[in-house]
Amino acid sequence: MADHAFVRIDKRGPVAIVTLDRPEKLNSLTPLMLEQLEAAAAQLEADGSLRAVVLTGAGERAFCVGADINEWSALAPLDMWRVWVTRGHRIFDRWAALRLPVVAAINGHAFGGGLELAAVADVRVTDPAATFALPEASIATCPGWSGTQRLVSLIGPGHVKSMALTARRIDAQRAYAIGLVDEVSEAAKSLDAAIAVAEQIATLAPVSAQLTKQLINAAAGFNAGSTLEAMAGALSATTQDAREGMASFRERRKAQYEGQ
């Protein structure tokens, strides 16, 4: 099991399709799968040929039903904090911050951590039969991977409270109405519809698309400081003064800046 790839990456030209591949367990997440999600993010970031990513689940029943309860319920309290919640936050944040636009193809149930994972995507396309829930309180726990944070930014505190404080499932049409998803596909066509969105993204100027994503994330309160610093650094590096600064350093002379 340790050698099994529960997170697969397939490339279709400039689009990568990342699949949670544990359909017999409704793609529920284990510590190993978290590690593989993190490794997948690093691989995607390093691949200069890619322009967009599609994230989906294997099988027809579920995108992801969240954490595998048998895995996390066996953890000691400190391990729950260190291994589970903290690691999950770090990995989900990394996915949310990917330079590449991410489209989620929600092919079935998205519960708990699975819904939180879908929320890291920039665009969400759902099958009409999919359902959505934050059921944590029904098993005496709380949303742990930004369900009370990123989801609030996405659909507002009222809708998140309605879901989390009742543990009720909502259907695809309700999810669309509250802005939880952006598109409802034809039946059994969520992956095709998501790939079509990703391929449309891939036709755009890639740097512009990636910078636009970062700007919108910053406006929503995610990584605003690092986004501003990165863009300021990139802009200043294009100036004539930057070239003069580097040249004066190499030549060990006083720089002559002209404000250009």
What is the per-residue pLDDT for 3?
56
In-domain check, residue 258: no
Worst-scoring range by mean pLDDT, 28-32, 102-106, 119-123, 130-134? Answer: 28-32
Is the separation of the CB atoms in 51 and 202 below 8 Å? yes
pLDDT in tens, 154-211: 999 999 999 999 999 999 999 999 999 999 999 999 999 999 999 999 999 999 999 9
- The answer for residues whose C-beta is within 8 angstroms of residue 182's C-beta and 6 or more apart is 123, 124, 125, 176
Give me the CATH number covering residue 45.
3.90.226.10
- φ/ψ bin of 11: left (φ > 0), alpha (ψ from -120 to 50), beta (otherwise): beta
Residue 153: Cβ-neighbour burial (10 angstroms; 0-12, 13-18, 19+): middle
Domain that holds residue 214: 206-251
| Residue found by looking up tokens 């726990």 in the block | 141
Q: Is 258 a catalytic residue?
A: no
End-to-end alpha-carbon separation of the chain, Å? 58
Q: Max Cα separation, the chain?
A: 69
- Could you tell me if 106 and 44 lie in one domain? yes
In-domain check, residue 177: yes
* pLDDT average, residue stretch 235-252: 92
pLDDT in tens, 160-174: 999 999 999 999 999
- Could you tell me if 134 and 215 lie in one domain? no
Instruction: Return mean pLDDT, the chain.
Output: 93
- Could you tell me if 163 and 216 lie in one domain? no
Q: What pTM was computed for the model?
A: 0.92
- Could you tell me if 212 and 152 lie in one domain? no
**% residues pLDDT > 90 (the chain):** 79
Catalytic residue among 24, 35, 45, 136: 136
Is the separation of the CB atoms in 136 and 86 below 8 Å? no
Q: Is 186 a catalytic residue?
A: no
- Could you tell me if 82 and 153 lie in one domain? yes
Catalytic residue among 24, 116, 199, 244: 116
